[in-house]
Structure 1
């Protein structure tokens, strides 16, 4: 489905193709609203893939490709859409991604988390130091396991950050390699489930672990292992606690990237954007069940 959005009564100042994975969310409403507030009043064509990779491919080939020259920017929602559109565009148009949990692992930013290849955007992941600071208001853990996919660059980065925080704050970090193989990953997770000496588990913005959130979180909960979760997908499936981004704020951040580009900044000058005031969520029922409630 394609829908054209705009600001009634105003001439359109730019044309944007908005490619989304599962319909418009509050993030897209925040994006459009902020662009209008900034005075841009864009014409926006919305292309909804409906959570279907074949439909996404059809949109790119049959809808976007023939009209690509008419768009000033391409907005993409989610990892699947953003990675696919990146390959499709090949840098021909500026791409602003949103709600991508692991932009580095998806090669959407450079190792310094700056824009690259005409692509920059917003992540829904909250930095590790904020996650740990909030989590330690609930429990003063001394050991923290982190299951991760060794093939993902972002995971190594997060482990390094956690180890640094551990040295500063007095807790140890135990990385657990989880191979991204349907026949092996649950076997790899067993040390986490059986480790009696680990106080808590940190579930990182690791694409493979996120894809298994509906299995991983219940397994850890059943094993009575407290969890600290880096993205909303884990919270959705019952994680004990996590600091998560507000989607409307993320949409506004994406709009401000467009504003900066219109004022002459290049993509490579703009860093990856984060929600500056994410929300700390605690599963109170699970907190009581784990005997952690004050």
Structure 2
């Protein structure tokens, strides 16, 4: 009896020792324009979920060639990672061009992963990738907009070089026109040499619209000070990203970057802890009910909004 008890204790101790000595997960974090609260939320939530991890970071500094060069030069080493996290659509699409031999790919802050070809569907993403979707569906964004501000003509400002922005603006334009709205697409490349000429041409077109929608565009965020030269301070402006609000955008719908990082971590835990294949893990999407209406408390245009008609939570920033 004593011998049996000793053997049982030895087995239990060995099992506990194996658990205690579990190797930390090795995670590559690829960012596009420096670290954001999304990565902070991602790492903190993984820790809260009991996922011990070592993180390697690389920032592309908005240079696709730089990112591709890093991945190409380190491909063999990166194939040993347990997970590759990417921020933004361009980073995710560039990463997808490389064969990491089965390393799961987790994307975050992507407006529409299905439209840009990152996923086959939200429920069954495929391609060895899954993640967290950034913005609400286009029809929901326009519905929320109409709740708080009546408009007949809407101008969509976007950077035609960014797949994320092109996908978003095409969907929004189609839905707005189906609703009987006068919808115009305005192209703006803020880091181009002739940006002053662009601004001069865009300003009257923006003035002619009842409302301006800014697509989720990294080049706009990096050059957000230029937006004030295009959009009048008393013009209602809308975006699906809260990143613009410090530069005067009136209202944003959705959630904070940090909260998307938390959502991405919960998706990652299903892969790293539950051993699920990324193809079988649905993409996390903000629900209409969970969406927050963020109001820029310093925007003169905020007084034009009919917030009493809003059905979603309101938060001032």
So what's the TM-score if we normalise by structure 2? 0.68
Match of residue 146, structure 2, among 136, 157, 168 = 136
Equivalent residue number for residue 282 of structure 1: 295
Is 1:109 equivalent to 2:122 in the alignment? no
Is 1:17 equivalent to 2:30 in the alignment? no
SS at match of 1:214: helix
Q: 1:164/1:26 Cα in 2 relative to 1: closer, same or farther (>3 Å)? A: closer
Is 1:292 equivalent to 2:301 in the alignment? no
C-alpha separation in 1, matches of 2:94 and 2:168: 24
Whether the 8 Å CA contact 1:17–1:46 is kept in 2: the answer is yes
Equivalent residue number for residue 205 of structure 1: 216
Aligned pairs for 1:136-285 within 5 A: 136-150=146-160, 153-154=163-164, 155-165=166-176, 167-168=178-179, 171-178=181-188, 182-183=192-193, 187=197, 192-195=202-205, 196-221=207-232, 224-261=234-271, 263=274, 265-276=276-287, 277-285=290-298
Equivalent residue number for residue 5 of structure 1: none
Whether the 8 Å CA contact 1:246–1:275 is kept in 2: the answer is no
Aligned residues: 280
1:227 positional shift: 0.9
Q: 1:166/1:226 Cα in 2 relative to 1: closer, same or farther (>3 Å)? A: same
Whether the 8 Å CA contact 1:146–1:159 is kept in 2: the answer is no
The Cα offsets for residues 162-191 of structure 1, whole Å up to 9 and x where unpaired, read as: 4325544x5332223447882556645656
Aligned pairs for 1:71-150 within 5 A: 71-79=81-89, 81-90=91-100, 92-101=102-111, 103=113, 107=116, 109-110=118-119, 112=121, 115-150=125-160
SS at match of 1:133: helix
Equivalent residue number for residue 42 of structure 2: 31
1:238 positional shift: 1.6
1:75 positional shift: 1.9
Whether the 8 Å CA contact 2:42–2:265 is kept in 1: the answer is yes
1:129 positional shift: 3.3
C-alpha separation in 2, matches of 1:52 and 1:109: 19
Q: Which has the larger radius of gyration?
A: 2
SS at match of 2:249: coil
User: Mind listing any 5+ residue stretches in structure 1 that lack a counterpart?
Assistant: 1-8
1:88 positional shift: 4.5
